[in-house]
Amino acid sequence: MENEALLKETYRYLGYRGGTPDEESDTLIRQCLQDVQEAARPASAMRRVEVTWREQENTLDLGPICVQSKTLARHLRGCHHAVIFAATIGIEVDRMIKRARIGGIAREAMLQAAGAAVVEEYCDRIEAQVIAEEKERGYITRTRYSPGYGDFALEHQPEVLSLLNASKQAGITLTDGFLMIPSKSVTAVIGIADS
C-alpha cells in the first residue's frame, strides 16, 4: 500500500499546496513515486561527536570540524554532543531521472519531487532513531540542521563526508561545487543536550 504521507510530500514538492492534481497527473505522480521507491537503495553513515564551543563568537567544533556559523551556533546552543549523518537513496534514482529527461519534463519533475520526498522520509527515520537512542541515554535532541541552511556553509560538505567515510559507507561523493552525488542525498547535524 502506498504511503499517503509520501504522496502528499511529493504533491508539495510539485507545488500542489492544499490542492490535488487532475486525475491523469495524479496517476503519473503515483507511478513515479512507486518507481522511485522501487529503485531506492537507502544507505547512510553516522557518527556521534563532541561539540566544543570556541571563544570566537559563533564558532564551534563538531568533532574535528570547525564551523563558524551564527545560525548553527544558535540551533545547537546548549548542546555538548551531536550526531552527524549522511543519507542517500542511491544512484539508481539519479539514473532514472536522467533517462526521464528524454521522455519529457513532466515525468522528470515528478521523479525529482518523489525522490526528494523519499530521501526526506528516510532522513526522518534516521532522526527518529537518533532521538530514541539519545532519549534512552537521558538526553534531548534538536531537529536536524544541514549544510546550506542559514550561514552553515556548503563548503563544510567535504569535511562532513570525510568524517563519515560516506563514500565507502553510503556511496556519496561531491562535485567541485559541493553538490552531492547521488543527488538525492542529505547531510545533517542533530544536536544533543541535557534534558
Query: What pLDDT shows up at residue 117?
Result: 97
Residue 59: Cβ within 10 Å count:
16
Query: What pLDDT shows up at residue 75?
Result: 96
C-alpha cell at 88: 542517500
Query: What pLDDT shows up at residue 1?
Result: 33
* Residue carrying C-alpha cell 490542492: 19
CA distance linking residue 69 with residue 104, whole number of Å: 41
Cβ within 8 Å of residue 175, ≥6 positions away: 181
Q: What global pTM score does this model have? A: 0.93
Q: Cβ(142)–Cβ(79) under 8 Å?
A: yes
Average pLDDT by stretches of 10, the chain with 195 residues? 81 87 93 96 98 94 97 96 98 96 88 97 98 97 97 97 98 95 98 94
Query: What pLDDT shows up at residue 2?
Result: 54
Pick from 134, 112, 125: nearest CA to 36: 112
Q: Cβ(96)–Cβ(39) under 8 Å?
A: yes
Query: What pLDDT shows up at residue 122?
Result: 98
Residue 121: Cβ within 10 Å count:
17
Check residue 61 and report its DSSP letter: E
CA distance linking residue 158 with residue 122, whole number of Å: 22
* C-alpha Rg value of the chain to the nearest Å: 18
Cβ within 8 Å of residue 20, ≥6 positions away: 11, 26
